[in-house]
């Protein structure tokens, strides 16, 4: 699904045609209400239940012109913002936060009301992975005094005091590099994060998968062929590491809207 935080979500989102399991068309809000992420998180005690949320073209491109927002339609936008209303925390890599211009995660009152109805705080915890703490204080999310941000880093530095968000550090280091498994444990123990939505980027996705930290994938497939070579401008949704063995998945559900496919997979252990 696209990382399009600058776009405002539609009021309720379009109806999706259900392909698997066969069922009547379903509104995005009802689909979100039926997700069982919190129930599945109950089986984990040491880390959050982690779901990736990504978009790709039919030939596997995760970005156009370096960004993913151009790939999505109305239903993808509704699902992108809607998924933020059902989880405890949203995670993204520093590069994604910079390029996509991350802002307040739930900016409309309807989304905040839906979180309250689900027994959640109005805003999910915003989590950023930045090994070297290469983050500018000009990132809108870090300038927002209403934002609560946890930064997973191997650095002992801190950001400039000009950042107005409430910032806390998860300093997770192993063998001189960032320890994602340790960071996930601390998010669970220190912040009570049971469900976590990762919005990429592709390199972070690869490291999470390689560490066995991903439980499922929400994948939007755009009806688009983009071509191009495997460069930073044409990344796939998982990039940078060979997964050995590859991560096997099972298809849980499939929906369609205006030729866009919305697939939900669970990772098979």
| pLDDT tens readout for residues 49-84 | 999 999 999 998 988 877 776 788 899 999 999 999
Q: Residue 238 — very low, low, confident or very high, per pLDDT cuts 50/70/90?
A: very high
Q: What's the rounded mean pLDDT across residues 128-133?
A: 95
109 contacts: CB under 8 Å, gap ≥ 6: none
Answer whether residue 91 shows pLDDT above 50. Answer: yes
Phi, psi of 72 (to 5 degrees): -90, 155
Residue 149: count other Cβ atoms within 10 Å of its Cβ: 23
Answer whether residue 234 shows pLDDT above 80. Answer: no
The predicted structure's pLDDT at residue 6 = 47
Cα–Cα distance measured from residue 182 to residue 171, given in angstroms and rounded to the nearest whole number:
9
- Beta bridge mates, 169: 151
Q: Residue 162 — very low, low, confident or very high, per pLDDT cuts 50/70/90?
A: confident
Answer whether residue 164 shows pLDDT above 60. Answer: yes
179 contacts: CB under 8 Å, gap ≥ 6: 154, 172, 173
Q: What percent of the chain has pLDDT over 70?
A: 93
Q: What percent of the chain has pLDDT over 90?
A: 80
Q: Residue 8 — very low, low, confident or very high, per pLDDT cuts 50/70/90?
A: very low
Whole-number mean pLDDT of the chain? 91
Domain ranges of the chain: 15-267
Q: What's the rounded mean pLDDT across residues 173-188?
A: 95
Answer whether residue 1 shows pLDDT above 80. Answer: no
Q: Please state which CATH number belongs to domain 15-267.
A: 3.40.430.10
């Amino acid at each position: 699904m696209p990382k399009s935080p600058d776009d405002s979500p539609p009021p309720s989102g379009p109806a999706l045609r259900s392909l698997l399991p066969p069922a009547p068309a379903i509104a995005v809000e009802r689909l979100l209400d039926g997700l069982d992420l919190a129930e599945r998180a109950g089986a984990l005690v040491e880390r959050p239940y982690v779901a990736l949320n990504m978009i790709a073209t039919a030939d596997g491109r995760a970005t156009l012109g370096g960004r993913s927002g151009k790939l999505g339609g109305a239903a993808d936008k509704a699902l992108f913002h809607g998924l933020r209303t059902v989880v405890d925390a949203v995670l993204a890599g520093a590069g994604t936060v910079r390029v996509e211009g991350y802002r307040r995660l739930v900016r409309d009152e309807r989304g905040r009301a839906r979180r309250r109805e689900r027994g959640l705080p109005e805003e999910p915890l915003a989590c950023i992975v930045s090994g070297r703490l290469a983050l500018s204080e000009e990132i809108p999310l870090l300038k927002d005094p209403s934002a609560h941000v946890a930064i997973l880093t191997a650095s002992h530095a801190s950001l400039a005091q000009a950042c107005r968000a409430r910032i806390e550090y998860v300093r997770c280091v192993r063998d001189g590099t960032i320890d994602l498994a340790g960071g996930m444990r601390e998010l669970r123990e220190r912040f009570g994060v049971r469900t976590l939505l990762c919005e990429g980027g592709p390199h972070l996705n690869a490291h999470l998968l390689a560490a066995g930290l991903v439980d499922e994938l929400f994948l939007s497939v755009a009806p688009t062929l983009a071509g191009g070579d495997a460069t930073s401008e044409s990344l796939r949704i998982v990039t940078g590491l060979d997964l050995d063995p590859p991560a096997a998945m099972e298809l849980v559900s499939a929906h369609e809207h205006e030729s866009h496919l919305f697939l939900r997979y669970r990772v098979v252990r």
